[in-house]
């Protein structure tokens, strides 16, 4: 099973921001791919399981940004 979910992250302004968010989300169990669109703040996470909003929120917060919604 592969699950792709798109989130919106605010506060990212540069490629370093993208790298930080990608790194933190990639550390979550089951995550296979993280695609960050800097201009829109859209972050698509592909994993082999359904991710909980709490764990995604915690990873984004750890990176120093905010999950919107």
Write the pLDDT tens digit of every residue in 41-52: 999 999 999 999
Identify the CATH number of the domain defined by range 3-68.
Answer: 3.30.70.100
Query: pLDDT band for position 69 (50/70/90)?
Result: confident
User: If you search the block for the tokens 């960050």, which residue do you land on?
Assistant: 36
Beta bridge partners of 37: 42
Residue 64 has pLDDT above 90, yes or no: yes
Task: Name the residue among 3, 48, 60, 35 with its Cα closest to residue 69.
Answer: 60
pLDDT of residue 4: 98
| Domain segments of the chain as ranges | 3-68
């Amino acid at each position: 099973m592969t699950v792709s979910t798109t989130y919106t992250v605010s506060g990212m302004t540069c490629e370093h921001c993208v790298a930080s968010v990608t790194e933190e989300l990639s550390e979550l169990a089951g995550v296979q791919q993280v695609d960050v669109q800097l201009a829109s703040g859209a972050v698509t996470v592909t994993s082999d399981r359904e991710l909980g909003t709490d764990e995604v929120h915690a990873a984004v917060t750890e990176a120093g940004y905010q999950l919107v919604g």
